[in-house]
Amino acid sequence: MTDLLQRYSSKPVPRYTSYPTAPYFHKEIGPKTYAIWLNQIPKDSTLSLYLHVPYCARLCWFCGCSTTITGKPERIQRYAETLRSEIEIVTKALPTKMLVASVHLGGGTPTMLSPKDFSDLLDQLRNRFAIAMDADIAIEIDPRTLNPELIKILSKSGVTRASVGVQDFTPRVQQAINRIQSFETVREAVENLRNAGITSINLDLMIGLPHQNTDNVVRTVELATKLKPDRVAVFPYAHVPWLKKHQRMIRRTDLPNIVLRREQAEAAATVLSRYGYIPVGQDHFALPNDPLALAARTHGLRRNFQGYTVDNADAIIGFGPSAIGTLPQGYVQNSPELHVWRSKIHHNTLPTERGVSLTTEDRCRRLAIESLMCHYFVDLENVGLNKDTAVVNVTAFNTMIGDDLVKVEGNRLIVTDLGRPFVRNISSCLDKYLSNIFLHSRTG
Ligand code: SF4
């Protein structure tokens, strides 16, 4: 295993929350195209909405999100106003008042919104969209910024699911990532959310953090299970200080190596399985009756920018800087810079900065990669691919067959148990965009 981990971790591969992946979005897809795409969405479609809140009270040094640190409530209030203006611009471009099955507020820290701003935002969504009675309304929570008044508003606004950021309960690890929060803080947040009727709880943990070892991962997971969350995500930390400068505060020498990271992931999975959690995809776990676990069992699991999901909407509309939308015609992404996003909205323009339109082949490859990532197999014929041409990086794929990571049975590619940690590498063999770069750099 050590040899496999070392060989396959030497080349970075995408997380495949989309296909094509975001680096292949381009500027030819801008506000005009987005307006046309929005207008072309069939009126009977179901939408999913993502609202980004790019503010946090303190910077966690492991953070890979798009966020700004602020202590100024008026700044966040101005942001909420602009977000509401964006909702107006987008809904004017849609063909009708459309049905919404799920809303996700992410960040940053959406709980930085004041109770009034949160309530106004949800009211506006309900005015402009037909939010389904049983809509899944989810919010990412920093337990350190949660207060009783906000919890009351979350509940009143119909929030159904809360994703609480934990990472690790070990003080030394918390110091090294600049995120100090006690088990008591998390317990109180979870209890208060449940008492307010927000009963679906997800806890976000991490492995691969500085000073983390298998013992403190096990202890963190044990403590997390005491809170009986419906879902637990165990994300691997990605150390990319050349992209996220604040990660320079984390010393590379304090990070566990690839073998220790694998041990931590396996230890977390073992503890969760002992407490009855079912593995879902690469890094999620859910209680057997949770919709995510049911979807994993019935092959209904999906993958999008929020990770593993049961969301089956026809289109995802993103609001806020850097937010990505998935439309039947392709992907769009808003300007990541706050001031550019704001200025476009103030000029009554959709703040789209880039995107990519999907070809028929892209759609087939997207289905194939999603199937591998969610279910560890794909029937190439079922997704419209030819078994002789589906794999584009044949050399790498054959090496993976030789390493017993994947096998081919008729039209099916099947990831072996040994190959599961390498499913992203296996998926990358079907990625035509990545393969083009690879071929270009070899011949160029
Ligand atoms: S609270 Fe979340 S988004 Fe904000 S800095 Fe920490 S990890 Fe990043």
Q: Read off the CATH number of the domain in which 418 is found.
A: 1.10.10.920
204 lines ligand 1 (CB under 6 A): no
State the pLDDT at residue 436: 59
Half-sphere exposure of 322 (CA within 13 A, CB side): 16
Give yes or no for residue 165 CB within 6 A of ligand 1: yes
Does pTM surpass 0.95? no
Which is it for the CA torsion 92, 45, 368, 12, positive or negative?
positive
The domain in which residue 138 lies consists of 21-319
Residue 326 inside a domain? The answer is no
Q: Both 283 and 400 in a single domain?
A: no
Render each residue's pLDDT in the chain as its tens digit; 444 residues.
Answer: 888 999 888 778 999 999 999 999 999 999 999 999 999 999 999 999 999 999 999 999 999 988 899 989 999 999 999 999 999 999 999 999 999 999 999 989 999 999 999 999 999 999 999 999 999 999 999 999 899 999 999 999 999 999 999 999 999 999 999 999 999 999 999 999 999 999 999 999 999 999 999 999 999 999 999 999 999 999 999 999 999 999 999 999 999 999 999 999 999 999 999 999 999 999 999 999 999 999 999 999 999 988 899 988 999 999 999 999 999 999 999 999 999 999 999 999 999 999 999 999 999 999 999 999 999 999 999 999 999 999 999 999 999 999 999 999 999 999 999 999 999 999 999 999 986 544 433 332
Show Cβ contacts of residue 298 under 8 Å, excluding neighbours closer than 6 positions: none
Do 286 and 386 lie in one domain? The reply is no
Asked if 109 and 134 count as a contact pair (C-beta separation under 8 A), the reply is no
Q: Does some domain include residue 334? A: no
Tally of structural domains, the chain: 2
Ligand 1 close to Cβ of residue 56 (< 6 A): yes
User: Could you tell me the end-to-end alpha-carbon distance of the chain, in angstroms, rounded to an integer?
Assistant: 34
Residue 144 lies inside a defined structural domain of this protein: yes
Ligand 1 center to 329 CA (angstroms):
32
CATH code: domain of residue 32 = 3.80.30.20
- Residue 365: inside a domain: yes
pLDDT of 10: 79
Tell me what pLDDT residue 306 has: 84
Residue 167 lies in a domain: yes
* Residues forming a β-bridge with 332: 325, 355
The answer to whether residues 312 and 400 belong to one domain is no
Non-local (6+) Cβ contacts of 243 within 8 A are none
Same domain, 159 and 240: yes
Q: Assess whether 312 and 393 both reside in one domain.
A: no
Do residues 198 and 305 share a domain?
A: yes
41 and 3 inside one domain:
no
Q: Which of 270, 301, 319 is the last residue in one of the domains? A: 319
CA of 68 to the centre of ligand 1 (A): 9
Ligand 1 centroid – CA 202 distance (Å):
16
Q: Which of 319, 345, 376 is the last residue of a domain?
A: 319
Report how far ligand 1's centroid is from the alpha carbon of 67 (Å). Answer: 7
**Structural domain contains residue 83:** yes
Ligand 1 atom having least distance to the Cα of 107? 3
Q: Are residues 389 and 305 in the same domain?
A: no
Same domain, 388 and 305: no
- Whether 312 and 379 map to the same domain: the answer is no
Q: Which residue CA neighbors atom 6 of ligand 1 most closely? A: 60
With a 6 Å cutoff on the Cβ, whether 67 touches ligand 1 is yes
Q: Whose CA is nearest to atom 3 of ligand 1?
A: 108
Residue where one domain finishes, among candidates 319, 342, 376? 319
Environment class of residue 203 by beta-carbon count within 10 Å: exposed (0-12), middle (13-18) or buried (19+)?
buried
Residue 141 Cβ < 6 Å to ligand 1: no
- Confirm or reject: Cβ of 249 under 6 Å from ligand 1: no
Whether the CB of 340 sits within 6 Å of ligand 1: no
Note the maximum CA span of the chain: 62
- Atom index in ligand 1 nearest the CA of residue 62 equals 7
355: in domain: no
Please report whether residue 324 resides in a domain. Answer: no
Separation of 177 CA from ligand 1 center, angstroms?
A: 11
What residue's CA is closest to ligand 1, atom 7?
A: 63
At residue 359, the pLDDT reads 97
Pairing, β 307-309 against β 302-304: antiparallel
- Between the CA of 54 and the centroid of ligand 1 the distance, in Å, is 9
* Mutation to probe ligand 1, out of 105, 140, 142 (largest number of atoms < 8 A from CB): 142
Please work out whether the CB of residue 65 comes within 6 Å of at least one atom of ligand 1: yes
Q: How far is the CA of 243 from the centre of ligand 1 (A)?
A: 16
Please tell me whether residues 115 and 224 are part of one structural domain: yes
Phi, psi of 181 (to 5 degrees): -155, 130
Give yes or no for residue 53 CB within 6 A of ligand 1.
no
Residue 108, preceding peptide bond in cis (omega within 30° of 0): yes
Distances, alpha carbon 126 to alpha carbons 50, 96, 119, 149, 348, in Å: 14, 14, 11, 21, 21
390 CA to centre of ligand 1 in angstroms: 38
Query: Of all atoms in ligand 1, which is nearest to the CA of residue 108?
Result: 3
Same domain (yes/no): 270, 418: no
- Provide the pLDDT for residue 435: 66
